Structure 1
């Protein structure tokens, strides 16, 4: 924990102060707003990589734009440490972006398990070798699917780059509407992908390429699903026919893509957790450790094997009730 730093002791150089904090019970956006207040910078000048779960114990990097204020870094860190544990800090030459991190590391303990130990071991070994369906997690869709509901009624021209231009200022003057529209657009994309993946899982084809598979730019042989765009899925042949048939079941979402000029992209249908290991504490308590790439969800990995009840969410709901 970084405490009691005197002026000049924060290592590194640059206009941004990077702070690695440990938190629980606070989501990333809330922490970013609070850090802006504590450091005296604008909310827009706080950067972070990735979005961390509110209810878990998480560690995350934030960047604070503080040019020429190195002498006061220790005072800012002292204020932050009163609210969160500061693991480390340094100076850096640029703002952190959401996709800057290479992976997310998870340590998850499952308790009150009901199952045959040998069966669980076999399922975990299969997960380590074959992977699991790469669904987007439910948090992508908002509370009770609210992001999808908003996507279904949004004006498609809200994301039309031809009409509104690409200047950053318009998004700022609109009070954040641009970022919300992008969130709803992303939810619509994610839902179509999940539905296509669910169809492929049902048909037993989620690990095998279909005719018309395009792969990924850096992984041409990987089996993928659609991140829908203006013009469809980017696939062809049998694959495009299947994906179009699934997407047409939600015409209210398809219209979102009609005028945006958002290019179709692809996402792998399966994901293999890296460096997966496990340790038994007792016959009904198991610790899992693994790494996932950005945009992959631990909940979907675990739900492929276990039926999980998140006790932290239940505790949070009681507190809010």
Structure 2
């Protein structure tokens, strides 16, 4: 497929304003909410609160992605990369506050020294010990403070749109970043051999001399496969947005799997007809053994509030559950220009 749709219908039939996102990292603040660790975690205490083999730290970072920080923490703590846990990937071009766990059994006496070393790289906001490693999606959600600059549009119209967002939410699309530049991840997905996705080498993916074969870990295939699944969901959601049924109570869409969809009746027919329009992606799921799942069609931010800082500057505060994206809900109202991408392209040039 030479061109992929990467911009889907909005709930209101079109965006009513525009704005610049991430003009500075401080314009996009993300605070990971992990309640069972937040209380009683004062880093000024003589001993780290809690007990267990894992030292958990809440760090504030700017300009570093989550996986890079995790690798650096493993190096500083003298443990394996696998021994560092976190709940989700956070944006590099933002101020992000998130928890990491480090597997350090029997090293409680060294916690203070390690925390001091880490604090020289990233502010340590909280520390605690617990019995198990942090896992993906374990956090309760993420709190956001997003400031849009160079906002164009009438204040009253924008205020009404935001009130509607607080009331019914926005279409729960996957963001375009998941699909790669120009849909490159989808281009690669259609060229995958579905038969290889479940094939395991008897040698454990190693070639002669015990060397790991290039790409044998399948991580890139998983990325492309996930992009395909997400794009098909967006296509189904787009059809539901266009017919007005996306905001029905409890409405869900398909995360395609082996057997396709768990829907039945007219909804099953709709979903299968849409997926069949892209046979190159649909064929990926025939031998993957991945169970079909469902995802809500609507995403509604919790505790949404906003204030105009200036005539063209708008600050929004809200909370989202894991797997929900701030840019997705804002893009239902605003045509967003991500200034961090502009800076990245300039640096690459």
Shift of 1:4: 8.8
1:252 lines up with 2:295 in the alignment: no
1:319 lines up with 2:324 in the alignment: no
Deviation >6 Å, runs of 4+: 2-6, 173-176
Cα deviation digits, residues 217-260 of structure 1 (max 9, x gap)? xxxx5001110000011111111111111111211111111111
Aligned match of 2:225? 185
Output the CA distance in 2 between the equivalents of 1:278 and 1:176. 48
TM-score by length of structure 2 reads: 0.81
Map 1:99-118 → 2, pairs under 5 A: 99-118=137-156
Output the CA distance in 2 between the equivalents of 1:16 and 1:24. 24
TM-score by length of structure 1 reads: 0.88
Q: Contact between 1:147 and 1:183, CA under 8 Å: does it hold in 2? A: yes
- Between structures 1 and 2, the one with greater strand share: 2
Output the CA distance in 2 between the equivalents of 1:205 and 1:310. 30
Q: Contact between 2:43 and 2:127, CA under 8 Å: does it hold in 1? A: no
Q: Contact between 1:24 and 1:56, CA under 8 Å: does it hold in 2? A: yes
Cα deviation digits, residues 255-298 of structure 1 (max 9, x gap)? 11111111110011111101100111112111100111111111
- Give the alignment partner of residue 47 of structure 1, picking from 57, 65, 85: 85
Map 1:131-280 → 2, pairs under 5 A: 131-160=169-198, 163-164=199-200, 177-208=217-248, 222-280=250-308
- Give the alignment partner of residue 24 of structure 1, picking from 52, 59, 62: 62
Q: Contact between 1:158 and 1:181, CA under 8 Å: does it hold in 2? A: no
- Give the alignment partner of residue 313 of structure 2, picking from 285, 288, 294: 285
Aligned match of 2:6? none
Q: Which runs of 5+ in 1 are unaligned?
A: 209-220
Output the CA distance in 2 between the equivalents of 1:201 and 1:237. 19
Let me know the Cα RMSD of the aligned residues.
2.4
- Between structures 1 and 2, the one with greater helix share: 1
Output the CA distance in 2 between the equivalents of 1:129 and 1:5. 42
The 3-state SS of whatever aligns with 1:177 is coil
CA, structure 1 residues 114+241, in 2 after alignment: closer, same or farther (shift >3 Å)?
same
**Residues matched between the structures, number:** 303
Shift of 1:207: 2.1
Q: Which runs of 5+ in 2 are unaligned?
A: 1-40, 207-211
Output the CA distance in 2 between the equivalents of 1:176 and 1:223. 38
